């Protein structure tokens, strides 16, 4: 496991005693979350607000040998400290939810995407049961696509805002690995992907500036280039070429197109 910083139900009306028993049972298993309010101010609530929401979905691979091992790590303290994710997608397509969508899971760690540095607070983390070397299974990818459809629709997350842990932490993380089928996700509309056919970039095109526009932290250019290659070309070279420029030119045009 890579070290990473880790519904509302309508209930029928109960009697007082039953409601009290239910509350006590809930308290025994899940600590109550106290309202975050200042003792210096008078509480005078306004209805004009909504919950803080995720803006991205970050994909990981577990680096474990099986889902049971991954679940154990995601639900306990391991040698690198406690980690978690909102979801685990197992190799057979089973989906486990470990953290409420509205809560902050500890999955992204030290990361950056564009101007955002606290990705745990602005993203949904999805772990894929995979050792980082083996191919991802078809049932797993189909389950992931179904989950992405649900999350982007229900939470209002842009479909393009699906990225990898390696994208937000270049040089530190490489998941969901070079084997992950980003192009398959793109065929369902998920993730930022270049339109085909590619158009040659104009003379003087700045590929690193385009990578920064996409979201990559280019303070370490070599690490950023490897992360970009892993995502868009299924390789880990550290040298940019004309194909990279064409891909980045296509991504830049897509990002800057009128909406």
Which active-site residues does the annotation give? Answer: 127
Please tell me the distance from the alpha carbon of residue 220 to that of residue 168, in angstroms, as a whole number: 12
Please give the torsion angle defined by the CA atoms of residues 161, 163, 167 and 168, in that order, rounded to the nearest 10 degrees: 60
Query: Taking the CA atoms of the chain, what radius of gyration do you get in angstroms?
Result: 21
Q: Render the burial of 96-131: b for 16+ CB within 10 Å, e for the rest.
A: bebbebeebbbbbbebbbeebeebbebbbbbbbbbe
- Residues 172, 217: Cα–Cα separation, whole Å: 12
CA distance 144 to 148: 6
**CA-based torsion, 80, 81, 86, 89: positive or negative:** positive
Helix (H, G, I), strand (E, B) or coil at 229: helix
- Quickly count: other Cβ atoms within 10 Å of residue 246's Cβ: 18
Q: How far apart are CA 99 and CA 120, in angstroms?
A: 12
């Amino acid at each position: 496991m890579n070290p990473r910083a880790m519904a509302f139900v309508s209930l029928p009306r109960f009697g007082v005693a039953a409601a009290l028993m239910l509350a006590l049972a809930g308290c025994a298993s899940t600590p109550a979350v106290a309202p975050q309010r200042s003792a210096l101010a008078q509480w005078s609530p306004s209805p004009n607000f909504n919950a803080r929401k995720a803006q991205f979905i970050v994909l990981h691979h577990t680096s474990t040998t099986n889902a049971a091992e991954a679940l154990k790590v995601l639900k306990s303290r391991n040698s690198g400290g406690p980690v978690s994710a909102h979801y685990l997608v197992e190799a057979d397509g089973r989906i486990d939810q470990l953290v409420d969508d509205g809560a902050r899971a500890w999955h992204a760690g030290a990361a950056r995407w564009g101007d955002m540095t606290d990705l745990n607070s602005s993203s949904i983390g999805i772990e894929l049961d995979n050792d980082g070397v083996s191919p991802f299974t078809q049932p797993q990818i189909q389950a992931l696509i179904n989950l992405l459809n649900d999350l982007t629709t229900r939470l209002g997350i842009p479909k393009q805002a699906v990225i990898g842990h390696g994208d937000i932490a270049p040089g530190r993380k490489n998941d969901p690995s070079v084997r992950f089928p980003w192009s398959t996700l793109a065929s369902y509309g998920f993730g930022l992907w270049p339109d085909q056919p590619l158009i040659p970039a104009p003379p003087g095109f700045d590929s690193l500036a385009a990578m920064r526009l996409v979201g990559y932290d280019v303070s370490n250019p070599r690490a950023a280039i490897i992360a970009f290659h892993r995502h868009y070309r299924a390789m880990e070279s550290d040298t940019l070429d004309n194909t990279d420029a064409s891909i980045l030119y296509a991504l830049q045009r897509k990002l800057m197109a009128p909406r």
